[in-house]
Structure 1
Amino acid sequence: MAAAEEGGRAKASAAEYQGALGSLSVNAPLPDVLARGLEELRAAEEAGDLRETARCGLAVAEAYRRLGRTAEADRAWKASYRAARAANHAGAMAWALWSGGTLARQRGAFRLAYRLLRLAAEWGEQGGDVVVRGYSLAGLAETGRIQGDYAAVEELHEQLLAEARRRGEARHTVWALEGIAQMHRNNGAYDRALTLFEEAAGIAERAEDMRGWAWALRGMADVVSVRDGKVEYALSLLSRAEDACTAMNLRGALAFNHKMRGNVLYRAGRYEEAREWYARALKEFGDMTEPRGTALSRLGLTKTLARLGRGSAQTEADLVELRGLLAGIGLRHAREMVEKAAAELGVGPLPEERGRAGAAGFSASRAEALAVADVAGLR
């Protein structure tokens, strides 16, 4: 209990902001982080300081990623890795690989994410950097959770939670609590999920971790909506979380917040409003090239349009296409999600799609396989 209380009192820190950027707050607005990071990166490059170049490049990569500028984030983490490798610094190499793996997961490239995050954990251990090793293991756990492989990652989540509490790392305590809560929510254990989301929100607020706090409020809103039908309370939680996301310019978190608002309104039968929020989230995810959020927003929008009178043939066709897209991304529970939607809308069982989904899945898989091969020499 004492370790848990200590973790709850600790202030959150941004371990990915290092070197000249080490004084930046975890809540610093991302445009400010990017501007400062680019300035310090140029100075480090001019000074020929490879380790500082890697550190500043990491902050730049993370700012780009969280702003949804994925192509620039991809270039930045690779440049950070090259500088770290030239400096022969295992810890800095691990941090760059962690950033690349996190970006890969965000883009729906799960095989690549696993590859990079495993390498990051290995280099972190080799370099004696327990923090980046922990971040990398957490990334592996989150990747498995997002894919729906709970059996494989539940124990790892619990292990990482215990380690975070023991070390008093508030930010990672919050992350682990939210991950475990999400698995309970998806398995229908709403009471346990809400308790964990509330604990995460409390720790994040005391630690001044506004990003973790916003995600916890989103989780709370989801549970009170689906379990209790408390629409206005859920919407108020989402509004508070949205303010935090907007202040920091967390584009991905904001888009997921808007999609959840669509979910809450859909459950309440407020379909016109839900359609607006799903459409907004769809555009936001599309602008960031975030395939998972894009597909999930499309699923919500398809269900909403069906409720507003769209024909069953078009609804069925959209659901079949979405089933293929979600499966191609690598979400193992995709078929169950879409079949459940089809049954709910009275258009199931869905026919098997011939040709198009398979071809798309093959193309995506082949592209990712090539990307994995491209990083195979990073050891």
Structure 2
Amino acid sequence: MRHVPFFRWVLTLGFVLFTCAVGLYAFGPGLPDTRQIDLTVLDEKPDGACRVRWHDPYQDRTREEPYRCDPGRSDLLKAPQWADGGGYGWESGFMLTEGRHRGDLEDAGADTGLGSADVFLLLGAPLVTLGLIGGNLRALPRTLGVRAPLVRRAMGLSSAAARVADDYERALAAVREAGRHADLSRDTGSGPGARLVTALWVLKEAGPSAGETAARGRAIARRLDGLLQDTAPSADLRSSLRAGPVARARAGRAVAELGALLAEAERDGLPERCAQTSVDLLRGQDAEWAALAAATDFARDPAAYRHLLARWAPAADPPPARPAARTPWWRRRR
């Protein structure tokens, strides 16, 4: 069962609304152009309600209208302290310079309300925040389940164990193949006999524990391969995020078993033994040097090689006896 990407859709919706708001701000109708002008305050109340006069250059006349003055400005700008000689006060404002209302004052105290862009922005911003925070909180348990170093160690051990098992099987196969075409009593200087001696020398140099190491490597490689399939969601962050809860639970159990198996193998020195045994079994790749070393060692102790041959390549079964020739009926004794 895969998880439902709820917060991903919330984040997507928030980005869509946010993009719409940006588009409306960029390409929608903007605020009209204005310029700041001086206003003569004819009458002013303590709450800021006043009546002002200004010159309208577009209609070339002086106009008077109610206005909202700043009640907190200095008293020196208010009547009768304002030194204009007429007993009026002073204020500044913004006059519209375009559109059919040009020449009018822009009322800073008027409530223009929310536009479409503002609504989209107010809806999109919380959704983006919710998607980011909720998605990260939901992904946190999955990211904590990632055990990439442990999985990499297990993969390395599995590869080394399978490799040493394959190398040992190839060495045994070489001995058995050479043993079918030659023996140690003749032709050990060249030809099939030399190949048999070289194959036996490779196994002899690998040591008596090579077979045990290969067998254990084969067994642990099979166990690791099964566990590594279950621990796939713990291999990296991407796999963990894509896995469902059932797969993550199975991966958690597999990781625990994998850790115990690795600890036991490393405590016994199995990775090092597998690596060293593989190196020993690959000595026969240099055929000329291996043949020379094998011939020298065989001449020193041929009995050991015969013992090894009997152990690793037992004599083939004797050929079946040929049936006796039948006596013609006319020669049979009556």
TM-score range, shorter chain: under 0.3
Compute the TM-score of the two structures, normalised by the length of structure 1.
0.16
Compute the TM-score of the two structures, normalised by the length of structure 2.
0.18
Give the number of the structure whose alpha-carbon radius of gyration is greater. 2
Larger strand percent: 2
